[in-house]
Structure 1
Amino acid sequence: MEGLDATFIWLDYAAVFVFGASGALAAARRKHDIVTFTFFAAVTGVGGGTLRDLLIDAPVFWVVRPQYLLAALAAAVAVWAFGAGKARLAILGWLDALGLAAYAIVGAAKALAFGVPAGAAVVMGVLTATFGGVLRDVLAEEPSVLLKREIYVSAALVGAAVFVAAQALGAPELPASLGGFLAAFTVRAGAILFGWSLPGFPGRTPTDDEG
């Protein structure tokens, strides 16, 4: 991918496939047809990266390399072919966690490659990792991940920050990316397994007073 070191290409394709699979599984919950499966997979797989590229004024990655769309298509076909039983639907959260961790690193890495300052590169990692999931939930008419108390965005933030900080300290790209990936995935896994969440706003709202 233009502007992104070849070290991250495998991670990028894997993230598109995994996020694409999560989009297809969301379509499966609604028993949609194969065309909608493909649409859900494509939007979920490339949505975050598209927003990132538009914001950092980079060529949109899947336009330059249509193979990314093929990765999303393969995810949709795989879900369609192997079905979406109860067990497979249960792995939706884990697929999403893997995609989030991978995309947090890829997004931050590409932003750095295009000369974006460190703080903004972390934000680009977060947007890359979360926007596709937001689009998926909107399309599937599911509660948005952003409206849940369970940690989600924070996991991407931790992963992207670890990666960018490691790069700033001179760490090689592979250890930095692995460290960021594991940090993001660990936080998200803790949220899934143990219900980790951040504290909510403690004050009373006008609605509370009225009730």
Structure 2
Amino acid sequence: MPDPIAPPHIVYALDLLGTVAFAASGALAGVRKRMDLLGVIVLGLVTATGGGVVRDVLLHDTPPFCFKNELYLYLAVGASVLVFLVPRHFERQQRALLLLDALGLGTFAVIGTSKALVFNLGFMGSVIMGVMTATCGGLIRDVLSNEIPLILQREIYASACVAGGAAYYLMHHLGVPSPVRLTVAAVLVIGIRFAAILKGWQLPRREEL
């Protein structure tokens, strides 16, 4: 089956930008763990493409998206190598990386949700696919680098994807045109994540009994 998702040019551009940002964050985690070049590239690749690959495998849409369009792989490898070569520069750009990561998060979430709808999933399935697309790569990165996954901590991360995915699903069933709902839902996720970063928002956590 050909890839059914044909996002607007702006969404596709943000998708590629998010791929670079996710790869850079994964590669930086590898550098911090003192991995060699191959380890850094692996972490960068799985962070950038892992969520989409898991989504496509679950939807039986094979080969996964990054093997249909290898630009994603080249960008992820290139970003990972660059981080390996000049890690201190990226360490100094943590805020910029977080903001780029937010762009990728929103874009990945709505593309994952939209693809789930093409495969006729319901509300829960579509939102879950959106969340997985945006967060599974980071989950794999954290497991491989022996860290507590970000989505299991207090950060407003996966919950922003839930909001965007739910909004996309509702707009889809209200008949909102695809380019509009993709853009609006992505902006919602990005806005929530931006606000969480800038204002330090966190989800509540049960204190020790």
Measured against the shorter chain, the TM-score band is 0.7 to 0.9
Unpaired runs of 5+ residues, structure 2, are: none
**What TM-score does the superposition give when structure 2 sets the normalisation length?**
0.86
Unpaired runs of 5+ residues, structure 1, are: none
Q: Residue 69 of structure 2 corresponds to which residue in structure 1? A: 65
The separation in 1 between residues aligned to 2:17 and 2:114, in whole angstroms, is: 15
Aligned-residue offset at 1:42: 0.6
Contact 2:7–2:179, Cα closer than 8 Å, also in 1: no
Aligned match for 1:21, one of 1, 20, 24: 24
Aligned-residue offset at 1:186: 1.3
Aligned-residue offset at 1:12: 3.5
User: How many percent of aligned residue pairs carry the same amino acid?
Assistant: 36
Aligned match for 2:115, one of 110, 113, 119: 110
Paired residues for 1:96-135 under 5 Å: 96-135=101-140
The separation in 2 between residues aligned to 1:92 and 1:45, in whole angstroms, is: 13
SS of 1:112's equivalent in the other structure is helix
The separation in 1 between residues aligned to 2:105 and 2:7, in whole angstroms, is: 20
**What TM-score does the superposition give when structure 1 sets the normalisation length?**
0.85
Amino acid across the alignment from 2:84 = W
With over 3 angstroms needed to count, the CA separation of the structure-2 counterparts of 1:16 and 1:144, relative to structure 1, is: same
SS of 2:110's equivalent in the other structure is helix
Contact 2:21–2:97, Cα closer than 8 Å, also in 1: no
In terms of Rg, which structure is larger?
A: 1
The separation in 2 between residues aligned to 1:122 and 1:147, in whole angstroms, is: 18
Paired residues for 1:38-49 under 5 Å: 38-49=41-52
With over 3 angstroms needed to count, the CA separation of the structure-2 counterparts of 1:174 and 1:82, relative to structure 1, is: farther
The separation in 1 between residues aligned to 2:99 and 2:28, in whole angstroms, is: 12
SS of 1:84's equivalent in the other structure is helix
Between stretches 193-202 and 15-24, larger displacement belongs to: 193-202
Number of residue pairs matched? 204
Alignment partner of 1:77 is 2:89: no
Alignment partner of 1:147 is 2:148: no
